């Protein structure tokens, strides 16, 4: 009886805490931005990062564990995915760069050392897709999507610390992609290769048929990675390749009629998909503008600015009255995936703050605030820490807490972006 009463008291406290933390959309824009920054910084420093630093380091085999299940159990023999490890590297590196906390540097260096020792293919170049829990090669395919996150994480570590070895490996993976994955006839990048860079047609990120030769998703993260590498390696060649990626979005991937992103395309950039992915739309809206601004070309910035706002408006089709964002819609069947994913919500906060900055239209800021209020109420795990992977339309949480695709990158980046943008 006493135990049940204690649990009820705790649940009542947590419910009360969540309700009091909501940011009122009626407040002035300055107050909303300041409170948004404060709450996100608090969640980063006192929830997201402590969860990952306490649960994920593998003290027996090195690096980080590969999975935490829905019951919050660390799966010690889970595979160690390249995407997860590269995103962990980016997260701790960026957190150190923004905050200067030496503990974050220690964890970033741990991730950097493990990647350089275990994931990098010294014979054929690039990085492996998956290791087993002991750090041995499990899947040696070269997945372009995965390669981009190694560039992103290694270049962020170099950005935060000036480390030459990390920068060198980021450059090497960039060169491997340009040599092996670039479509020299129709532009863009192919998706999957064997260890020695022979092209495969494996379907790893939702492709439905052999016609799906290029993807919005991989292209988005190539642009993101190239933008970060350009920050620390601002050569003429790097600028040209980054500009090329921005133009690929402006010319081919943004649907000229709907301003949604085209999910899959054939080799010659014809659409092969009827999916609108609201999370990818809003994520791209700010990443395209970020990449263009790094290049400093006024005309490219103008085009990217217009595209950014148009994509943000298109993505708003997925926003619900409670501030949550749906996952996706299949235009051909009308089917809607209505789970509220952790990453979609995090990108919506950044994307709509970005749209507010570009337009000074407070409606966009209110969208960001409402989405954060939804996150704060439903996605933060106040019992075990961290975030849930998703919640149902009714608010029931589900999914692993960490895994190949479940990482600290989207939600940490949301916090860090707002911390840097709101002065």
Q: Which residues, 6+ apart, have CB-to-CB distance to 147 below 8 Å?
A: 126, 127, 173, 176, 177, 181
The pair of three-digit structure tokens given for residue 350, joined into one six-digit string = 């950044």
Please compute the mean of the pLDDT values over residues 17-29 and round it to a whole number: 79
Q: Could you report the per-residue pLDDT of 408-421, keeping only the tens digit for each?
A: 999 999 999 999 99
Domains of the chain: 32-421 (1.50.10.10)
Q: Could you report the per-residue pLDDT of 85-139, keeping only the tens digit for each?
A: 999 999 999 999 999 999 999 999 999 999 999 999 999 999 999 999 999 999 9
Please say whether the beta carbons of 276 and 258 come within 8 A: yes
Q: Could you report the per-residue pLDDT of 228-245, keeping only the tens digit for each?
A: 999 999 999 999 999 999
Please give the helix or strand (H or E) that residue 284 lies within, else none: helix 278-295
The pair of three-digit structure tokens given for residue 177, joined into one six-digit string = 């992609």
Q: Could you report the per-residue pLDDT of 59-78, keeping only the tens digit for each?
A: 999 999 999 999 999 999 99
Kindly tell me the burial class for residue 398, based on how many C-beta atoms sit within 10 Å of its own C-beta (0-12, 13-18, 19 or more): exposed
340 three-class SS: strand
Q: Could you report the per-residue pLDDT of 188-224, keeping only the tens digit for each?
A: 999 999 999 999 999 999 999 999 999 999 999 999 9
Q: Could you report the per-residue pLDDT of 163-172, keeping only the tens digit for each?
A: 999 999 999 9
Q: In this model, does residue 19 exceed pLDDT 70?
A: no
CA distance 245 to 260: 17
Residue 189: strand pairing partners? 182
User: Computed from CA positions of residues 283, 327, 259, 373, in that sequence, does the dihedral angle turn out positive or negative?
Assistant: negative
Whose CA is closest to 152, among 327, 407, 369?
A: 407
CA distance 405 to 179: 27
Q: Taking all residues of the chain, what is their mean pLDDT, rounded to a whole number?
A: 95
Q: Please tell me the predicted confidence (pLDDT) of residue 4.
A: 43
- The reported pTM is 0.94
Share of the chain above pLDDT 90, in %: 95
Name the region of 385 (left: φ>0; alpha: ψ -120 to 50; beta: rest).
Answer: left
Q: How much of the chain is helix, strand and coil, in % rounded to 5?
A: 55, 10, 30
Please compute the mean of the pLDDT values over residues 337-366 and round it to a whole number: 98
The 8-class DSSP code of residue 45 comes to I
Q: In this model, does residue 344 exceed pLDDT 90?
A: yes
Q: In this model, does residue 18 exceed pLDDT 60?
A: no
Which band of pLDDT confidence, cut at 50, 70 and 90, is reported for residue 20? low
CA distance 213 to 269: 9
Please say whether the beta carbons of 138 and 130 come within 8 A: yes
| Of 3 and 101, the one with more pLDDT | 101
Q: In this model, does residue 423 exceed pLDDT 90?
A: no
User: Computed from CA positions of residues 342, 151, 125, 56, in that sequence, does the dihedral angle turn out positive or negative?
Assistant: negative
């Amino acid at each position: 009886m006493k135990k049940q009463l204690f649990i009820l008291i705790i649940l009542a406290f947590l419910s009360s805490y969540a309700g009091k933390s909501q940011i009122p959309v009626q407040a002035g824009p300055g107050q909303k931005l300041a409170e948004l920054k404060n709450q996100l910084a608090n969640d980063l420093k006192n929830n997201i990062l402590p969860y990952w630093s306490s649960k994920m380091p593998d003290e027996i085999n090195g690096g980080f564990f590969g999975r935490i299940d829905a019951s919050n159990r660390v799966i010690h023999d889970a595979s160690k995915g390249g995407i997860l490890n590269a995103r962990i590297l980016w997260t701790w590196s960026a957190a150190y760069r923004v905050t200067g906390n030496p503990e974050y540097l220690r964890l970033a260096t741990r991730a950097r050392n493990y990647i350089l020792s275990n994931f990098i293919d010294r014979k054929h170049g690039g990085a492996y897709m998956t290791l087993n829990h002991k750090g041995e090669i499990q899947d040696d395919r070269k997945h372009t999507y995965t390669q981009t996150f190694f560039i992103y994480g290694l270049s962020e570590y170099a950005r935060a610390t000036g480390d030459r070895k990390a920068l060198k490996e980021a450059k090497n993976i960039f060169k491997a992609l340009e040599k092996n994955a670039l479509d020299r006839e129709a532009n863009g990048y192919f998706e999957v290769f064997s260890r020695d860079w022979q092209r495969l047609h494996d379907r790893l990120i939702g492709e439905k048929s052999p016609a799906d030769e290029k993807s919005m998703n991989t292209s988005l993260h190539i642009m993101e990675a190239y933008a970060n590498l350009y920050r620390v390696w601002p050569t003429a060649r790097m600028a040209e390749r980054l500009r090329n990626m921005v133009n690929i979005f402006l010319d081919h991937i943004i649907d000229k009629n709907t301003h949604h992103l085209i999910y899959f395309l054939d080799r010659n950039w014809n659409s092969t998909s009827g999916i609108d992915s609201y999370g990818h739309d809003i994520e791209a809206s700010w990443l395209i503008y970020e990449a263009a601004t790094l290049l400093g070309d006024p005309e490219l910035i103008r085009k990217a600015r217009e595209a950014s706002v148009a994509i943000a408006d298109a993505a708003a089709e997925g926003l619900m009255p409670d501030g949550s964002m749906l996952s996706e819609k299949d235009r051909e069947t009308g089917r809607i995936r209505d789970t509220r994913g952790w990453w979609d919500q995090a990108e919506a906060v950044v994307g709509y703050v970005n749209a507010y900055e570009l337009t000074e239209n407070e409606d966009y800021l209110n969208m960001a605030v409402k989405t954060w209020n939804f996150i704060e109420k439903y996605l933060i795990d106040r019992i075990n820490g961290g975030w849930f992977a998703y919640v149902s339309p009714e608010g029931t949480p589900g999914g692993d807490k960490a895994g190949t695709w479940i990482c600290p990158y989207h939600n940490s980046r949301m916090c860090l972006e707002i911390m840097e943008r709101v002065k």
